[in-house]
Chain A
């Protein structure tokens, strides 16, 4: 039976996140972007909303079940406030959720509780690499099995909070397949590089990380010695990023509407001009359409539908185009003011472009 209405519980979560997203993340976003720093208490407050804890079963010290649909709803709201802040709050999920999805029972028991029990700590993951045609299924970083150890070599990028990470999940190419390995803090051969400077997301600390003959016990291979299915992690990430792209789009649209209804031009409001009104209509329509695609992909993941990976891929494909179109138009609707850093739309336009590059930087 079709339904497009979140459950009461989901709606309560959405409302709680929305308050935080607007009162805290949005309020701090510009300064954080300019300073290149997110205040720790800001991130901690978001962490205390308990979304990840509520998505983790009791067996691993959480108090709920993972739902990709709920995740998509939550991440959209977070990103509506500020994308950098949203990603910061959810960085520990990059470590915990793949373990929950694909880890062995022993790994889940050992690694998840420390993440969700304590205050926000930088548990993170390293997937991306610096090349134009980066493909999560064709990594340059290698993993080789030598007896009961696994050896990692290569260079990663876009690793959030790598410099302070408690532990990270490192993805590498093992005989042609992408596999994740749990890499503890202060492992020999792991070198944190420079903090990266990007087009957007300046508030979020991203680092390059190099791995030189890094020896890890084979039991740290995600899923145990036999490994795991990487596709479900990609799908969960694609849906998460797509949902965040919708959040950014939605923020830009609402801001543009407010501006256009307030600004006078030729004796009327800017929004009363068809050229502007039509842009707004198309922005709203596209967001609504692609949002449903994202929801459906999330729902398919939850239901274990066979095509969920493809659907998640399509959802992100649609969402990355939507967010670029919408944020660009938001800047356009503000005219010259859109180009000034007093308004957030230029930041959202920069952040929006990132979804074409982001891989694995969020997960539901």
Chain B
């Protein structure tokens, strides 16, 4: 039965998260943007307590958790709840959102392909007294979307039963906080057999303080400046054998790699949720500013009678709402264990597109006011673009959508 009613538990949580976004994020949003590499500890410490109460990891909703006390009749809503949370936090500040401690992308990888022992070893640290962060290191200077071009290597030293990592990773979100500011870890993608292509690709957990693992650079970015983005160099970095996620032997199939790619089915709609959050903030601000100046949007009029400004706002609302519904649907599928790579990428493509269009149009519409740093609009214009880039660019996601729609394998549409 088609239903658009927000589930009660989500609505309640949403109210709490909104309070956080309004009171803990928005007031310092501008300041954190201006002081690029400063870390918003007040916000982080506050969120640490909140994330702990949810089990320490925020990117891996455990659907089974809600199945206590005979409530198992309700369909799972873990990802849908997460989407709402992320949307609201990105509405608060998309950069600070990325500073939330606890398990994020790295933990999602551990949760997806780790053994029970690994999960316990790596994920329990988020429940401690101090905030702890994780990170995911995939991109290399020569390998962005084309992950098969990854050169970082992992060689097993059988004498010590250790993996020896060598290589350089860039664009690691929260790497500084994971490795320097806390006892976190970074999940590193490397090949155990350069000749095996994707079949040789594995992920490894490298913990903070491991010798041979060094944060070498913090990037200066267009937006999401409250969030650190670092380069990490691995030089004969030795980690225990047990830190490999998945099978240690090279297989002919790329099953392991594909399994890891499957985490995108959840993480891409989460990025879409961020995009929607930024877009909603923008549309709300535009409407407020226009209302202050006596401009009301006359819904219901034929287009021929609308002003150009009204049409732009109406278009924004259409894009915003449809993007959100597309995102929700893809995560509703994830919650209900319906295969969703097409829908996940659709949400990412669409939300990444519309938030860029909406924020760019919004700065245009407010003219001299839109371009100043007095408002947060210009910041959202800068923040928005990242959602069309990370977790797969809009183009990579178009490939995924197209392949799924056309029934093509990667080799048929490259």
- Among A292, A300, A315, the residue within 8 A (CB) of B326 is A292
**How many Å lie between the Cα of A135 and that of B299 in the bound state?**
12
Q: Are B2 and A293 in contact (CB under 8 A)?
A: no
From DSSP, what is the main secondary structure of chain B's interface residues?
helix
Closest Cβ of chain A to B33, distance in Å, is 30
Is B1 engaged at the interface, CB distance under 8 Å to the other chain? yes
What 1/0 flags go to A231-246 for Cβ under 8 Å of B? 0001000000000000
**How many Å lie between the Cα of A286 and that of B322 in the bound state?**
9
Is A342 engaged at the interface, CB distance under 8 Å to the other chain? no
Q: Which of A2-10, A80-88, A111-119 contacts B (4 or more CB under 8 A)?
A: A2-10
With A289-B350, A314-B314, A356-B303 in contact, do A282 and B3 touch (Cβ < 8 Å)? Answer: no
Q: Are B317 and A314 in contact (CB under 8 A)?
A: yes
Q: Please, which residues of chain B bring their CB within 8 A of the CB of A296?
A: 4, 321, 325
Q: Are B1 and A3 in contact (CB under 8 A)?
A: yes
Best-surrounded residue of B2, B300, B319 (most CB of chain A within 10 A): B2
- Among A5, A277, A295, the residue within 8 A (CB) of B398 is A277
Q: Please, which residues of chain B bring their CB within 8 A of the CB of A192?
A: none
Closest Cβ of chain A to B354, distance in Å, is 9
Q: Are A290 and B3 in contact (CB under 8 A)?
A: no
Is B343 engaged at the interface, CB distance under 8 Å to the other chain? yes
Is A19 engaged at the interface, CB distance under 8 Å to the other chain? no
Q: Are A2 and B7 in contact (CB under 8 A)?
A: yes
Closest Cβ of chain B to A255, distance in Å, is 13
Is A272 engaged at the interface, CB distance under 8 Å to the other chain? yes
Is A210 engaged at the interface, CB distance under 8 Å to the other chain? no
Q: Are A1 and B401 in contact (CB under 8 A)?
A: no
Q: Are B304 and A7 in contact (CB under 8 A)?
A: no
Is B68 engaged at the interface, CB distance under 8 Å to the other chain? no
| CB nearest to B331 among chain A residues | A2
Report how many residues on chain B are interfacial, defined by Cβ distance under 8 Å: 47
Q: Please, which residues of chain A bring their CB within 8 A of the CB of B408?
A: 271-272
Q: Are A274 and B413 in contact (CB under 8 A)?
A: yes
**Of residues 298 to 332 in A, which have CB atoms within 8 Å of B's CB atoms?**
299-300, 303, 309-311, 313-315, 317-318, 321
Q: Please, which residues of chain A bring their CB within 8 A of the CB of B301?
A: 135, 137
Best-surrounded residue of B315, B329, B406 (most CB of chain A within 10 A): B406
Is A133 engaged at the interface, CB distance under 8 Å to the other chain? yes
Q: Are B329 and A292 in contact (CB under 8 A)?
A: yes
Closest Cβ of chain A to B75, distance in Å, is 7
Q: Are B402 and A289 in contact (CB under 8 A)?
A: no
| CB nearest to B395 among chain A residues | A278
Is B74 engaged at the interface, CB distance under 8 Å to the other chain? yes
Further pairs besides A285-B326, A296-B321: 15, Cβ < 8 Å: A1-B5, A2-B328, A4-B329, A6-B1, A69-B2, A133-B305, A277-B402, A281-B398, A289-B323, A299-B2, A314-B299, A314-B314, A314-B318, A317-B315, A359-B302
**Contact surface of A with B, Cβ cutoff 8 Å:** 1-7, 10, 69, 132-135, 137, 234, 257, 260-261, 271-272, 274, 277-278, 280-282, 284-286, 288-290, 292-293, 295-296, 299-300, 303, 309-311, 313-315, 317-318, 321, 356, 359
List 8 A-B pairs, Cβ < 8 Å: A4-B332, A133-B302, A257-B406, A281-B399, A293-B321, A296-B321, A310-B300, A314-B299
- List the 6 closest A-B pairs by CB distance, nearest first: A292-B325, A277-B402, A289-B322, A281-B401, A318-B318, A133-B304
